[in-house]
Protein backbone atom coordinates (compact mmCIF):
# COMPACT_ATOMS: atom_id res chain seq x y z
CA UNK A 1 0.00 0.00 0.00
CA UNK A 2 2.88 2.34 0.93
CA UNK A 3 4.65 1.52 -2.31
CA UNK A 4 1.50 2.25 -4.28
CA UNK A 5 0.98 5.61 -2.56
CA UNK A 6 4.61 6.51 -3.15
CA UNK A 7 4.20 5.69 -6.85
CA UNK A 8 1.04 7.82 -7.12
CA UNK A 9 2.71 10.75 -5.37
CA UNK A 10 5.79 10.47 -7.60
CA UNK A 11 3.58 10.35 -10.70
CA UNK A 12 1.60 13.39 -9.54
CA UNK A 13 4.86 15.28 -8.91
CA UNK A 14 6.14 14.36 -12.36
CA UNK A 15 2.92 15.61 -14.01
CA UNK A 16 3.07 18.83 -12.00
CA UNK A 17 6.68 19.43 -12.98
CA UNK A 18 5.87 18.74 -16.62
CA UNK A 19 2.99 21.22 -16.52
CA UNK A 20 5.28 23.85 -15.02
CA UNK A 21 7.82 23.23 -17.75
CA UNK A 22 5.27 23.76 -20.51
CA UNK A 23 5.12 27.26 -21.88
CA UNK A 24 1.56 28.48 -22.09
CA UNK A 25 0.74 30.49 -25.21
CA UNK A 26 -1.55 33.42 -24.59
CA UNK A 27 -4.24 34.22 -27.16
CA UNK A 28 -3.78 37.75 -28.49
CA UNK A 29 -6.03 40.01 -30.56
CA UNK A 30 -4.37 42.63 -32.77
CA UNK A 31 -6.32 45.51 -34.32
CA UNK A 32 -4.90 46.61 -37.66
CA UNK A 33 -6.00 49.92 -39.18
CA UNK A 34 -5.43 49.69 -42.94
CA UNK A 35 -6.27 51.89 -45.91
CA UNK A 36 -9.49 50.86 -47.67
CA UNK A 37 -7.54 50.01 -50.83
CA UNK A 38 -5.96 47.09 -48.95
CA UNK A 39 -9.22 45.37 -48.02
CA UNK A 40 -9.06 42.37 -50.36
CA UNK A 41 -5.35 41.65 -49.95
CA UNK A 42 -5.31 42.09 -46.17
CA UNK A 43 -8.28 39.75 -45.78
CA UNK A 44 -6.31 37.07 -47.68
CA UNK A 45 -3.15 37.67 -45.64
CA UNK A 46 -5.05 37.51 -42.36
CA UNK A 47 -6.30 34.05 -43.36
CA UNK A 48 -2.74 32.94 -44.17
CA UNK A 49 -1.47 34.27 -40.86
CA UNK A 50 -3.78 31.96 -38.94
CA UNK A 51 -1.42 29.10 -39.85
CA UNK A 52 1.67 31.15 -38.97
CA UNK A 53 0.43 32.35 -35.57
CA UNK A 54 -2.73 30.44 -34.57
CA UNK A 55 -2.93 32.18 -31.21
CA UNK A 56 -3.03 35.65 -32.77
CA UNK A 57 -6.33 37.00 -34.09
CA UNK A 58 -6.07 39.91 -36.51
CA UNK A 59 -9.04 42.31 -36.47
CA UNK A 60 -8.91 44.72 -39.43
CA UNK A 61 -10.44 48.18 -39.63
CA UNK A 62 -10.58 49.53 -43.20
CA UNK A 63 -11.30 53.14 -44.09
CA UNK A 64 -9.69 56.19 -45.60
CA UNK A 65 -6.25 56.93 -44.14
CA UNK A 66 -7.47 60.32 -42.93
CA UNK A 67 -10.36 58.77 -41.01
CA UNK A 68 -8.09 56.11 -39.51
CA UNK A 69 -5.54 58.74 -38.46
CA UNK A 70 -8.27 60.70 -36.68
CA UNK A 71 -9.54 57.57 -34.92
CA UNK A 72 -6.04 56.79 -33.61
CA UNK A 73 -5.58 60.40 -32.51
CA UNK A 74 -8.87 60.24 -30.63
CA UNK A 75 -7.83 57.14 -28.70
CA UNK A 76 -9.19 54.22 -30.72
CA UNK A 77 -7.52 50.90 -29.92
CA UNK A 78 -5.01 50.19 -32.67
CA UNK A 79 -1.88 48.04 -32.80
CA UNK A 80 -0.72 48.63 -36.38
CA UNK A 81 -1.48 51.46 -38.82
CA UNK A 82 -1.01 51.19 -42.59
CA UNK A 83 -1.67 54.39 -44.50
CA UNK A 84 -2.14 54.86 -48.25
CA UNK A 85 0.20 57.87 -48.13
CA UNK A 86 3.05 59.14 -45.93
CA UNK A 87 1.06 62.25 -44.98
CA UNK A 88 -1.25 60.57 -42.47
CA UNK A 89 1.60 58.58 -40.93
CA UNK A 90 3.77 61.71 -40.68
CA UNK A 91 0.97 63.44 -38.76
CA UNK A 92 1.25 60.77 -36.04
CA UNK A 93 5.04 60.40 -36.03
CA UNK A 94 6.96 62.25 -33.29
CA UNK A 95 10.13 61.79 -35.35
CA UNK A 96 8.67 64.39 -37.74
CA UNK A 97 8.47 68.05 -36.85
CA UNK A 98 5.98 70.57 -38.26
CA UNK A 99 8.08 70.95 -41.41
CA UNK A 100 8.04 67.17 -41.81
CA UNK A 101 4.26 66.93 -41.63
CA UNK A 102 3.62 66.57 -37.88
CA UNK A 103 2.02 69.98 -37.40
CA UNK A 104 0.27 68.98 -34.15
CA UNK A 105 3.27 67.33 -32.54
CA UNK A 106 1.46 64.01 -32.16
CA UNK A 107 3.28 60.95 -30.82
CA UNK A 108 1.64 57.65 -31.77
CA UNK A 109 4.24 55.79 -33.86
CA UNK A 110 6.42 53.27 -32.03
CA UNK A 111 9.85 54.46 -33.06
CA UNK A 112 11.97 51.96 -34.96
CA UNK A 113 8.96 50.12 -36.43
CA UNK A 114 7.97 52.41 -39.31
CA UNK A 115 8.58 50.96 -42.77
CA UNK A 116 7.60 51.85 -46.33
CA UNK A 117 5.62 48.69 -47.05
CA UNK A 118 4.08 49.00 -50.50
CA UNK A 119 3.84 51.10 -53.64
CA UNK A 120 0.66 51.52 -55.68
CA UNK A 121 -0.25 53.38 -58.88
CA UNK A 122 -2.87 56.05 -59.47
CA UNK A 123 -5.02 55.26 -62.48
CA UNK A 124 -7.82 56.64 -64.62
CA UNK A 125 -10.65 54.25 -65.34
CA UNK A 126 -14.05 54.30 -66.98
CA UNK A 127 -17.23 52.22 -66.49
CA UNK A 128 -18.06 49.32 -68.77
CA UNK A 129 -18.25 50.49 -72.38
CA UNK A 130 -16.26 53.67 -71.66
CA UNK A 131 -19.14 55.94 -72.83
CA UNK A 132 -16.92 59.03 -73.10
CA UNK A 133 -14.27 57.18 -75.08
CA UNK A 134 -11.54 58.20 -72.65
CA UNK A 135 -8.00 57.21 -73.52
CA UNK A 136 -5.72 59.34 -71.34
CA UNK A 137 -5.40 61.83 -68.50
CA UNK A 138 -4.69 64.51 -71.09
CA UNK A 139 -8.03 63.85 -72.79
CA UNK A 140 -9.73 63.92 -69.38
CA UNK A 141 -8.23 67.36 -68.72
CA UNK A 142 -9.66 68.66 -71.99
CA UNK A 143 -13.12 67.24 -71.21
CA UNK A 144 -13.06 68.75 -67.71
CA UNK A 145 -12.24 72.15 -69.19
CA UNK A 146 -15.14 71.88 -71.62
CA UNK A 147 -17.51 70.53 -68.97
CA UNK A 148 -18.28 67.36 -70.92
CA UNK A 149 -17.42 64.72 -68.34
CA UNK A 150 -18.25 63.75 -64.75
CA UNK A 151 -15.20 62.69 -62.78
CA UNK A 152 -15.38 60.77 -59.48
CA UNK A 153 -12.53 61.52 -57.08
CA UNK A 154 -11.70 61.15 -53.40
CA UNK A 155 -12.27 63.84 -50.80
CA UNK A 156 -9.35 66.12 -49.91
CA UNK A 157 -8.63 64.19 -46.67
CA UNK A 158 -8.30 60.90 -48.57
CA UNK A 159 -4.90 60.01 -50.11
CA UNK A 160 -6.38 59.09 -53.49
CA UNK A 161 -8.16 62.47 -53.48
CA UNK A 162 -4.89 64.22 -52.65
CA UNK A 163 -3.14 62.44 -55.52
CA UNK A 164 -6.01 63.49 -57.80
CA UNK A 165 -5.60 67.10 -56.70
CA UNK A 166 -1.94 66.92 -57.74
CA UNK A 167 -2.99 65.62 -61.16
CA UNK A 168 -5.46 68.47 -61.58
CA UNK A 169 -2.73 70.95 -60.66
CA UNK A 170 -0.38 69.27 -63.13
CA UNK A 171 -2.88 70.04 -65.91
CA UNK A 172 -3.44 73.57 -64.50
CA UNK A 173 -7.03 72.82 -63.53
CA UNK A 174 -8.71 74.59 -60.59
CA UNK A 175 -10.59 72.08 -58.43
CA UNK A 176 -12.97 74.63 -56.90
CA UNK A 177 -13.97 75.92 -60.32
CA UNK A 178 -14.50 72.39 -61.63
CA UNK A 179 -16.61 71.48 -58.60
CA UNK A 180 -18.71 74.60 -59.06
CA UNK A 181 -19.32 73.71 -62.70
CA UNK A 182 -20.65 70.28 -61.70
CA UNK A 183 -18.02 68.05 -63.33
CA UNK A 184 -16.74 66.53 -60.08
CA UNK A 185 -18.31 64.07 -57.68
CA UNK A 186 -16.64 62.88 -54.48
CA UNK A 187 -16.18 59.74 -52.40
CA UNK A 188 -15.14 59.51 -48.75
CA UNK A 189 -12.70 56.70 -49.57
CA UNK A 190 -11.35 54.92 -52.62
CA UNK A 191 -14.01 52.19 -52.46
CA UNK A 192 -16.78 54.78 -52.80
CA UNK A 193 -15.07 56.28 -55.85
CA UNK A 194 -14.71 52.80 -57.35
CA UNK A 195 -18.41 52.07 -56.79
CA UNK A 196 -19.46 55.30 -58.50
CA UNK A 197 -17.52 54.28 -61.60
CA UNK A 198 -18.42 50.57 -61.64
CA UNK A 199 -22.12 51.43 -61.31
CA UNK A 200 -21.95 54.08 -64.05
CA UNK A 201 -22.76 56.97 -61.72
CA UNK A 202 -19.75 58.84 -63.11
CA UNK A 203 -18.12 58.88 -66.54
CA UNK A 204 -14.73 58.07 -65.06
CA UNK A 205 -12.79 58.01 -61.81
CA UNK A 206 -9.29 58.23 -60.43
CA UNK A 207 -8.41 55.34 -58.11
CA UNK A 208 -5.53 52.98 -57.39
CA UNK A 209 -4.51 50.24 -59.82
CA UNK A 210 -5.19 47.64 -57.12
CA UNK A 211 -8.80 48.76 -56.68
CA UNK A 212 -9.34 48.71 -60.44
CA UNK A 213 -8.03 45.14 -60.49
CA UNK A 214 -10.20 44.02 -57.57
CA UNK A 215 -13.30 45.61 -59.15
CA UNK A 216 -12.57 44.11 -62.57
CA UNK A 217 -12.41 47.54 -64.20
CA UNK A 218 -10.27 48.42 -67.19
CA UNK A 219 -7.52 50.98 -66.63
CA UNK A 220 -7.55 53.78 -69.19
CA UNK A 221 -4.29 55.48 -68.17
CA UNK A 222 -1.72 55.46 -65.38
CA UNK A 223 -0.41 58.61 -63.71
CA UNK A 224 3.32 59.15 -63.73
CA UNK A 225 5.36 60.10 -60.66
CA UNK A 226 5.79 63.53 -62.25
CA UNK A 227 2.02 64.00 -62.17
CA UNK A 228 1.30 62.99 -58.58
CA UNK A 229 4.45 61.60 -56.97
CA UNK A 230 5.03 58.04 -55.76
CA UNK A 231 2.16 56.27 -54.02
CA UNK A 232 3.85 54.86 -50.92
CA UNK A 233 2.07 52.94 -48.14
CA UNK A 234 3.94 53.31 -44.82
CA UNK A 235 3.21 50.95 -41.92
CA UNK A 236 4.10 51.13 -38.22
CA UNK A 237 3.25 49.72 -34.82
CA UNK A 238 1.27 52.20 -32.71
CA UNK A 239 2.98 52.96 -29.39
CA UNK A 240 -0.19 52.45 -27.35
CA UNK A 241 -0.27 48.74 -28.25
CA UNK A 242 -0.43 46.29 -25.41
CA UNK A 243 1.04 43.56 -27.64
CA UNK A 244 4.27 45.01 -28.99
CA UNK A 245 5.95 41.64 -29.65
CA UNK A 246 3.02 40.22 -31.62
CA UNK A 247 2.44 43.48 -33.49
CA UNK A 248 6.07 43.61 -34.58
CA UNK A 249 5.87 39.97 -35.69
CA UNK A 250 2.80 40.61 -37.85
CA UNK A 251 4.37 43.72 -39.39
CA UNK A 252 7.43 41.63 -40.21
CA UNK A 253 5.18 38.98 -41.78
CA UNK A 254 3.59 41.62 -44.02
CA UNK A 255 7.05 42.11 -45.53
CA UNK A 256 7.58 38.38 -46.11
CA UNK A 257 7.60 36.72 -49.52
CA UNK A 258 4.32 34.94 -48.73
CA UNK A 259 2.45 38.14 -47.88
CA UNK A 260 4.11 40.17 -50.62
CA UNK A 261 2.98 37.65 -53.25
CA UNK A 262 -0.62 38.38 -52.24
CA UNK A 263 -0.05 42.12 -52.49
CA UNK A 264 1.63 41.75 -55.88
CA UNK A 265 -1.21 39.61 -57.24
CA UNK A 266 -3.45 42.70 -57.41
CA UNK A 267 -0.85 45.23 -58.53
CA UNK A 268 0.99 46.37 -55.40
CA UNK A 269 4.78 46.29 -55.46
CA UNK A 270 7.30 46.35 -52.60
CA UNK A 271 8.24 49.93 -51.74
CA UNK A 272 11.87 50.68 -52.32
DSSP summary character for residue 50: H
pLDDT at 198: 94
pLDDT at 120 over 50: yes
pLDDT at 21: 47
pLDDT at 90: 97
Q: Once rounded to an integer, what is the mean pLDDT over residues 107-126?
A: 97
Half-sphere exposure of 203 (CA within 13 A, CB side): 17
pLDDT at 155: 95
pLDDT at 16 over 80: no
Confidence label for 24 from pLDDT (cuts 50, 70 and 90):
low
pLDDT at 218: 86
pLDDT at 10: 47
pLDDT at 17 over 60: no
Under 8 Å between Cβ of 140 and 223:
no
- Within 10 angstroms of residue 208's Cβ, the number of other Cβ atoms is 28
Its pTM surpasses 0.85:
no
Q: Once rounded to an integer, what is the mean pLDDT over residues 56-71?
A: 96
User: Which alpha helices (H) appear in the chain, and where do they start and end?
Assistant: 2-21, 39-52, 65-73, 86-90, 137-146, 159-170, 175-180, 190-198, 209-215, 225-228, 244-254, 257-265
Beta bridge partners of 62: 34
Amino acid sequence: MKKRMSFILALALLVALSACGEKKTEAVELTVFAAASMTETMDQIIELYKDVAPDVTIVPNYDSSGTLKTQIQEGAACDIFISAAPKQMNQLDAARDAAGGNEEGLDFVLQGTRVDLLENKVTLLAPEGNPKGLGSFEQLADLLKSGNVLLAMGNSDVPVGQYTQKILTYYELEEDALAASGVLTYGSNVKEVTTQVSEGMADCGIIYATDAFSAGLTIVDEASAEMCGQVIYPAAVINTTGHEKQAKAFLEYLQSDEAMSVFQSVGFSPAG
